[in-house]
Amino acid sequence: MIELKLDLPKGLEQHLEYLTILSKRSKEFIIKEAIIQYLEDAEDISKLSEWVEKNKEGKTYTSEELDHLLEQKGLKGANV
C-alpha cells in the first residue's frame, strides 16, 4: 500500500469535508473510491477506443452507444 499527500484547492477540500458528513465515511474512503472509479473509467475508455479504432468503418458514436458497446463487448468496469 502507498501513502499519498494531497494539496487540495480550498473548494475541493470543502466539498470533500461535506461528503464525509453526508456519507458518514472517512476522507480516505471517499478519495480511494474516487480513484478506483477514475481508473475503471479510464480503462473502459481505453478499451473502447481500441475497439472503435479497429471497427469504426467511418461511423460516429454517441456516448450512450459507446456505453452500450462496452457492456456488449464485456469491457465495462475493471477489477481493481
Looking at residues 13-20, what average pLDDT do you find? 96
Task: Say how far apart CA 77 and CA 14 lie, in whole Å.
Answer: 29
Largest CA distance in the chain: 49
pLDDT at 14 over 50: yes
In this predicted model, what pLDDT tens digit does every residue of 22-66 receive, in sequence order? 999 999 999 999 999 999 888 888 887 787 777 767 777 787 887
What is residue 11's predicted lDDT score, i.e. its pLDDT? 96
pTM value surpassing 0.95: no
The confidence score (pLDDT) of residue 75 equals: 65
